[in-house]
Amino acid sequence: MKIGFVSDIHEDIDSLRQAFTVLERANCDIVVCLGDIVGFTLHFQKRINNRDANACIAMVRDECAAAVAGNHDLYAIRRIPQFNAGFPYRDNWYDLEYEQRARLSRHRVWLYEDSELPTFLTDESLTFLRRLPEFLVRTYDDIPFVFSHFHYPDLSGSRIDSLRKARHLRSHFSFMAEQDAVISVSGHGHPEGCALSDRNKLRFHSFGSYQLDTTLQWIVCPCVAHTARANGVATLDTVARQLDVLPLGPYNNTG
């Protein structure tokens, strides 16, 4: 089976359409969305005319076999993360004024209003986002997967975190073991290519093809949205255990 992955769409409908064109040409059997379907941030994204949150949600709903919630998706529905990485969210968190939440957060969790444009969603789009889990466990070709937007204990990526070392993933690999998962796939980091980690080493790679071994693996996929960073998608052949990280935009001519 070949699984395609889209992540960090951030309302960029043109890039999402191109992503599905690339994945179709790669002969993917299914596509999984790794979160942040919505959330348009001005200082990261420049193509405001491509912004269409409802169209992106509809495409993910119709074309993806599975999807999880990212931090921006949770903010759009004002849902406090279930996996909060130890941050003491108040039950009335989104009823508080921005300044009060800023004082309480002390730059530990994202607040969004300082940089993100409001998202106007239909009832149908809101219903879809409200049904998204923070992680999923699925098995394909006898390989158990965990899909999430980021790593445990911050599966939605709601906490401000800079990941640089494999030792920061110890809790995540323990979480994978609890789920009997061998491969975990996430987004959130917007790498220009991908990140691959086992228990011992975290490596960042450019776009290309990579052979996975049989140890526990955490994969971070690129961002679909057009930003200052090169964007792309990923595919995983479960039989060959080959990961292909494919560029979009000017780096991939989809005709």
In tens, the pLDDT along 177-220 reads 999 999 999 999 999 999 999 999 999 999 999 999 999 999 99
Q: Is the pLDDT of residue 47 over 80?
A: no
For residue 48, the model assigns a pLDDT of 80
pTM: 0.95
Mean pLDDT on 67-94: 97
For residue 124, the model assigns a pLDDT of 98
Mean pLDDT on 34-54: 88
For residue 250, the model assigns a pLDDT of 61
For residue 253, the model assigns a pLDDT of 46
Q: Is the pLDDT of residue 158 over 90?
A: yes
Q: Which domains does the chain have, with CATH numbers?
A: 2-251 (3.60.21.10)
For residue 7, the model assigns a pLDDT of 98
Q: What percentage of residues in the chain have a pLDDT greater than 90?
A: 87
pLDDT band at 254 (very low <50, low <70, confident <90, very high): very low
Provide the angle, in degrees to the nearest 10, between the axes of the packed helices 123-130 and 53-63.
50
Q: Is the pLDDT of residue 252 over 60?
A: no
Mean pLDDT of the chain: 94
For residue 162, the model assigns a pLDDT of 76
For residue 46, the model assigns a pLDDT of 72
Q: What percentage of residues in the chain have a pLDDT greater than 70?
A: 98
